[in-house]
A and B are shown apart, each in its own frame.
Chain A
Amino acid sequence: MVPLPTAPVNALFEYLQRLGDDRLILGHRMSEWCGHGPILEEDIATANVALDLIGQATMLLRLAGEVEGKGRDEDALAYWREAVEFRNCLLVEQPNGDFGHTVVRQFLFDVHAVLLLDGLTRSTHDGLAGIAAKSLKEAKYHVRHSGDWMLKLGDGTDESHRRVQRSLDDLWRFTPELFVTDAIDREMISAGIAPDPAVLQEQWQTIVRDVIERATLQHPGEAAPPASARGARQGAHSEHLGHLLAEMQIVARSHPGATW
């Protein structure tokens, strides 16, 4: 008999929204590529990543709604929360930019996702552990795909090298937020629900550094992020999220109470 997690319900609800929103927002961003990719094969690959992420978000937000116990399902959470109620990190809401920018954002996220999901497969929360096990296989493929593109673009042409280096330098400031540990995380760690972000950080740095080197790119350095590049987990987002949600939620919100 697995002991029930002892974390307060609202902390677990909060944590599940973080996991779910990261994947919902990034999946949404990836879906913006559909039909516009650099080559047909990659269009299909990008859509697969988007589908995986939105699928993971669906499971996580459904569980979040159940944990909350107020009758909200995944759609209620996705379509009827305001931007300040979203709990995704800043990295995933950044606009796609060019294909290289999307690759860098995806790679930085994917490495984190693999490490986090691996830890979550050992969660004391059975439902979450199950979702993590299924998602981990997907994430392992995602990082293989985005990692391969890091090498191809970093060590491709002068132009591609210049472009991804610029994207890496730009997006780097959003990465420390992935490892911020606040009261919610501490409750998750002590209940055995989630792994310690600080432990993940070391592994993340090793893997990312290795790929950056093999891609002949310059590591942006370990400097502390500016204060503006954190706080999204509490609702302090960039301006980009509001526009993303305006588009995502428009149809659903134009017809309150309708089924689709």
Chain B
Amino acid sequence: MALALDFCLLWCFTCLVLPVEPLDLLPSVTDDGISYPTHDIKHTLESTFNPGCLMTTCNRNGSVSVFNLTIVDDPVQAQEHHWVWSVIKHPTIQVALTPPGDRVRIDWGALFGFGDMASAIDYENAPDYSAAIMLANLIEFDDQTDNAFIHDEKPSVLVYPLLNFNWKRVMIENTTQRLAYGFIGQNYSSAGASHPHNITGTLNITLASYAQEGYGVWLPHLSHSEGTNQFDIQLQELKSTSGFQRSRFALEFYIVSQATREDKLRRVATRTLDDEHTPGIFKTQELIIPGYNESLQAFLQWRPVVYTTRERDLSGSTDVNVTNAIRVTNASDELATSILYAMYGMDLDDMLVFRINVTLGGPKDGFYKKTKYQAWTFTIGTGEPIRNGFSPMIILVMTIIFGILLLVGITAIVICIVKRVKRRQPQQNAYGRLQN
């Protein structure tokens, strides 16, 4: 009985576990046409800071930060990942898939207004595909109905452009496997803003790039690979002069992709079995940003959780809501002073450009004032979003548990059979042997 049930359990377990595909086992084609399984490819991360900039502003602590990151593949692949992080005016990440050996070129003069800013950042060869995301504004709104949705009523919504923050740069890690920098936005100035309100506190943005697959260092420990970057934003001790009693914050992003204007963003919400890396969160949400095909496209991926304490645990968490994307029709005008214009110029009018709002918080969470801290993380990547299976640790533990059970079960059955056989054999006593 024990053995039969053990086998049943093992069968169930095997059925449940086996369909889970391990990460990234698909072969990839290299520059020389030879296909390698992707886990045989070595990636290293090369980065340059403010490449080619000789201006004095480039050396100040954080006022101008442009990182150029290249994921170098060994052996060389048909396409190479390039990342540009910029915290000039607005924090921006651009990803470009280029032929191997390509390099980013930055026209610093044009970037600072001494010339045509259009395409001040470009590549020696045109990228096969490129996409970017820019954090444009911080929005504060008075959530009278406590449903965590922004209502477009002017008096209860205030927009704080991020270019009005002063940025400082802090290195967290800089190796060939991981580059992580913190960008700290403080001292907001309301000059030039549409309203006179001021805001104090810190906007802390951490950007990270990886050369290998794995999980992020901090909760929500999002999956990453050489094809993704991580964007983590923390709203710390923000306090405005708005006078809102039920204040919530939202983030306004612009998303740009080299795709036809008419394409649509696609929202995907998947429910996972595994909350190992993000305890208590079983959902993953994705925004698929169309490109030319499934490998030449981009995506945003996040877990629907905003942590409300620095410790980042489930008990100190709330919801996040990404609103429907709004198509930007006259992008080159709307983004004329932004870094996105420097990256794409007038091409913006022919590209897919969307605007999304990310509302931090959920109903009945006590609003921002409860903890005065909110942290949200997402990854931006190219190709298909990363989908996780069970971790090897879970599989190992379950195998050990059921292995021991199986062993005990088999041993018990063997002992049982031996004893039963012994009992069935006629008992031969000393007299019996004598008679024989």
Our verdict on whether A and B bind, yes or no, reads no
Listed in ascending order, the chain B residues whose CB lies under 8 Å from chain A are none
